Amino acid sequence: MSGSGMTGGPVFQLSEYLISKKSFLQWTDSLMEGFTIIGPAWDGRQTVFREVGSSAELTLNYVTTMLAPGKLHIYRPKEKLFRFSLSGRQEIGELPAFNGKQIIVGVHPCDTNAILYLDRTFLGEFKDPFYEARRNNTIIISLNCTDVAPDCFCRSMGTGPFLNADSGFDMLLTDFGDDFLVEVKTERVNRLFNVSGARRAGNEEFALKAAKEKSALLKFTKTIDIAGLDSLLRDNPEHPVWGQTSDERCLSCSNCVMVCPTCFCYDVVDEISMDMKTAVRHRQLDACQDRKFAEVHGGNFRARRAARLRQFVTHKLDHTRQYGVFGTVGCGRCITWCPTGIDLTEIAKEIQRTKR
Amino acid sequence: MKKPRLGFFKYSCCAGCEFQTFYFQKHLMETLSSFEIVFARMISSGGTPEGPFDIALVEGAITEAWQADELKKIRKRSAVLFAIGACAVNGGIPAIKANRPEIEVEENVYGDLSAIHSIRPHPVDAYVPVDGHIRGCPPGERDLYEALTSALFRKKPDFLRQSVCIECKLKGNVCVLVTFRMPCMGPVTNAGCGALCPSYNRACYSCFGAMKQANAPALARRFRTLGMSGDDIARKFTMFDADSIEFRKAAELYED
Amino acid sequence: MNALKPSKAAIKNITHETGDVRTYEFYVGDALSADPAPGQFNMIGCPGVGEAPVSFSGLLKDGSIRHTIKAVGMVTDFIGRMETGDEVFLRGPYGRGWPLEQARGMDLLLGAGGVGLAPLRPVIEKIVRERDAFGRVLLLYGARDERRLLFLKEYEAWQDFLSLHITVDELAAGAASKYSTGLITTLLDRTELNAERTVAFICGPEIMMRLFCRGLLLKGANASRLYVLLERRMRCGIAQCGHCQHGGLFVCRDGPVFSYNEVSGFADGLL
C268/C270 Cα distance (integer angstroms): 7
C162/C137 Cα distance (integer angstroms): 5
Nearest to C247 by CA among A231, A8, B94, A131: A231
**Alpha-helical runs (H) found in B63-163:** 65-77, 85-90, 102-109, 141-153
Which residue type, as a one-letter code, is found at position A306?
Answer: A
Instruction: Assess whether B149 and B210 both reside in one domain.
Output: no
| Cβ atoms C202, C142 nearer than 8 A | no
Which residue type, as a one-letter code, is found at position A42?
Answer: W
C248/A322 Cα distance (integer angstroms): 5
Instruction: Assess whether B173 and B127 both reside in one domain.
Output: no
Strand-pair partners of C64:
C27, C61
Q: How many CB atoms lie within 10 A of CB C160?
A: 8
Q: Does B107 touch chain C (CB under 8 A)?
A: no
Instruction: Assess whether A122 and A249 both reside in one domain.
Output: no
Distance from CA of C169 to the nearest CA of A (A): 18
Which residue type, as a one-letter code, is found at position C156?
Answer: E
Instruction: Assess whether B182 and B122 both reside in one domain.
Output: no
Instruction: Assess whether B87 and B16 both reside in one domain.
Output: yes
Chain B residues lying within 8 Å of C77, measured CB to CB:
155-156
Chain B residues lying within 8 Å of A305, measured CB to CB:
213, 215
Instruction: Assess whether B235 and B174 both reside in one domain.
Output: yes
Nearest to B132 by CA among B157, B163, B164: B157
Chain C residues lying within 8 Å of B155, measured CB to CB:
46, 48-49, 74, 77-78
- For residue A248, is it within any domain? yes
Which element (helix H / strand E) includes C9?
strand C7-18
A329/A142 Cα distance (integer angstroms): 15
| Cβ atoms B3, B30 nearer than 8 A | no
> Chain C residue with minimal CA distance to A82?
C5
Chain A residues lying within 8 Å of B169, measured CB to CB:
66-67, 254-255, 258-259
Q: Out of A189, A217, A245, pick the residue that ends a domain.
A: A217
- Which of C 46-85 lie inside 8 A of B, CB atoms? 46, 48-50, 73-74, 77-78, 81
Instruction: Assess whether A255 and A210 both reside in one domain.
Output: no
Burial A173-191 (b: 16+ CB within 10 A, else e): bbbbeebbbbbbbbeebee
Chain A residues lying within 8 Å of B218, measured CB to CB:
247-251, 340
Q: ipTM of this predicted complex?
A: 0.92
Burial class (CB in 10 A: 0-12, 13-18, 19+), B152: buried
Q: Does A94 touch chain B (CB under 8 A)?
A: no
**Alpha-helical runs (H) found in C98-255:** 100-103, 121-129, 155-158, 184-190, 206-218, 251-254
What angle (nearest 5°) sits at the alpha carbon of residue A7, between those of residues A259 and A107?
40
The terminus-to-terminus CA distance of chain C in angstroms comes to 37
CA distances in angstroms from B230 to A10, B82, B233, B252, listed in the order given: 61, 35, 5, 10
Domain tally, chain B: 2
Q: Does A80 touch chain C (CB under 8 A)?
A: no
Instruction: Assess whether A152 and A233 both reside in one domain.
Output: no
Alpha carbon C252 to chain centroid, angstroms: 14
- Contact check, Cβ <8 Å, C248/A90: no
Nearest to C193 by CA among C158, C169, C163, C166: C163
Nearest to C68 by CA among C154, C139, C126: C154
Q: How many CB atoms lie within 10 A of CB C61?
A: 10
Q: Out of B97, B123, B153, pick the residue that ends a domain.
A: B153
Distance from CA of C233 to the nearest CA of A (A): 6
- For residue B80, is it within any domain? yes
Q: Does A322 touch chain C (CB under 8 A)?
A: yes
| Cβ atoms A143, A108 nearer than 8 A | yes
Chain A residues lying within 8 Å of C235, measured CB to CB:
266-268, 283, 286
Give the number of beta-carbon pairs within 8 Å between B and C.
17
State the DSSP code for B119: E
Chain B interface mutation, best of C20, C46, C49, highest count of B Cβ atoms under 10 Å: C49
The CATH number linked to B119 is: 3.40.50.700
pLDDT string in tens for chain A (356-residue length):
333 334 444 556 789 999 999 999 999 999 999 999 999 999 999 999 999 999 999 999 999 999 999 999 999 999 999 999 998 889 999 999 999 999 999 999 999 999 999 999 999 989 999 999 999 999 999 999 999 999 999 999 999 999 999 889 999 999 999 999 999 999 999 999 988 888 999 999 999 999 999 999 999 999 999 999 999 999 999 999 999 999 999 999 999 999 999 999 999 999 999 989 999 999 999 999 999 999 998 889 999 999 999 999 999 999 888 998 999 999 999 999 999 999 999 999 999 999 76
- For residue B158, is it within any domain? no
- For residue B45, is it within any domain? yes
| Cβ atoms A107, A143 nearer than 8 A | yes
Instruction: Assess whether A65 and A156 both reside in one domain.
Output: yes
> Chain A residue with minimal CA distance to B175?
A337
The upper half-sphere exposure of residue B97, i.e. CA atoms within 13 Å in the direction of its Cβ, equals: 18
If DSSP codes are grouped into helix, strand and coil, which group holds residue A299? Answer: strand
CA distances in angstroms from A91 to A79, A167, B12, C54, listed in the order given: 20, 41, 46, 22
- Report residues of chain C scoring pLDDT below 50: none
Structural domain that includes position B125: 5-153
Chain C residues lying within 8 Å of A269, measured CB to CB:
50
Instruction: Assess whether A241 and A175 both reside in one domain.
Output: no
- For residue A200, is it within any domain? yes
Distance from CA of C4 to the nearest CA of B (A): 21
Structural domain that includes position A340: 229-262+288-355
| Cβ atoms B174, B156 nearer than 8 A | no
Instruction: Assess whether B79 and B172 both reside in one domain.
Output: no
pLDDT string in tens for chain B (256-residue length):
789 999 999 999 999 999 999 999 999 999 999 999 999 999 888 888 888 999 999 999 999 999 999 999 999 999 999 999 999 999 999 998 888 899 999 999 998 999 888 999 999 999 999 999 999 999 999 999 999 999 999 999 999 999 999 999 999 999 999 999 999 999 999 999 999 999 999 999 999 999 999 999 999 999 999 999 999 999 999 999 988 999 999 999 998 7
Q: Out of B153, B174, B192, pick the residue that ends a domain.
A: B153
Name the CA radius of gyration of chain B, rounded.
19
Instruction: Assess whether A60 and A149 both reside in one domain.
Output: yes
| Cβ atoms C111, C201 nearer than 8 A | yes
> Chain C residue with minimal CA distance to A122?
C240
- For residue B159, is it within any domain? no
Instruction: Assess whether B147 and B26 both reside in one domain.
Output: yes
Edge-to-edge strands, sheet with A278-285 = A91-94, A78-85, A278-285, A266-272
CA distances in angstroms from C217 to A128, B179, C189, C200, C271, listed in the order given: 42, 55, 11, 11, 13
Q: How many CB atoms lie within 10 A of CB A149?
A: 18
Instruction: Assess whether B67 and B190 both reside in one domain.
Output: no
A96/C94 Cα distance (integer angstroms): 25
Which element (helix H / strand E) includes A314?
helix A305-317
DSSP per-residue letters across B43-78? T-S---TT--EEEEEEESBEEEHHHHHHHHHHHHHE
Per-residue pLDDT tens digits for C188-230: 999 999 998 999 999 999 999 999 999 999 999 999 999 999 9
The pLDDT of residue C178 is 82
Pairing of strands C180-181, C198-203: unpaired
Instruction: Assess whether A213 and A233 both reside in one domain.
Output: no
Instruction: Assess whether A28 and A128 both reside in one domain.
Output: yes
Give the number of beta-carbon pairs within 8 Å between A and C.
120
- Which of A 52-71 lie inside 8 A of B, CB atoms? 66-67
Instruction: Assess whether A163 and A310 both reside in one domain.
Output: no
Instruction: Assess whether B124 and B210 both reside in one domain.
Output: no
Strand-pair partners of A141:
A105, A171
CA distances in angstroms from A298 to A67, A100, B181, C197, C271, listed in the order given: 36, 45, 40, 35, 17
Instruction: Assess whether A45 and A144 both reside in one domain.
Output: yes
Strand-pair partners of B209:
none
- For residue B113, is it within any domain? yes
- The answer to whether the Cα torsion of C186, C189, C193, C197 is positive or negative is positive
What angle (nearest 5°) sits at the alpha carbon of residue A39, between those of residues A38 and A42?
120
- Contact check, Cβ <8 Å, C50/B158: yes
Instruction: Assess whether A154 and A235 both reside in one domain.
Output: no
| Cβ atoms C210, C270 nearer than 8 A | yes
A264/A284 Cα distance (integer angstroms): 10
> Chain A residue with minimal CA distance to C236?
A268
Nearest to A94 by CA among C52, C7, C2: C2
Burial class (CB in 10 A: 0-12, 13-18, 19+), A298: exposed
Instruction: Assess whether B142 and B235 both reside in one domain.
Output: no
- For residue B200, is it within any domain? yes
The pLDDT of residue C174 is 66
| Cβ atoms C43, C237 nearer than 8 A | yes
Domain tally, chain A: 2
Alpha carbon C197 to chain centroid, angstroms: 23
* pTM recorded for the entire structure: 0.94
A327/A308 Cα distance (integer angstroms): 16
Instruction: Assess whether B136 and B177 both reside in one domain.
Output: no
- For residue B136, is it within any domain? yes
> Chain C residue with minimal CA distance to B154?
C78
- Contact check, Cβ <8 Å, A92/C47: yes
Q: How many CB atoms lie within 10 A of CB C171?
A: 13
Instruction: Assess whether B112 and B180 both reside in one domain.
Output: no
Instruction: Assess whether A163 and A42 both reside in one domain.
Output: yes
Q: Out of B132, B153, B174, pick the residue that ends a domain.
A: B153
State the DSSP code for A123: B
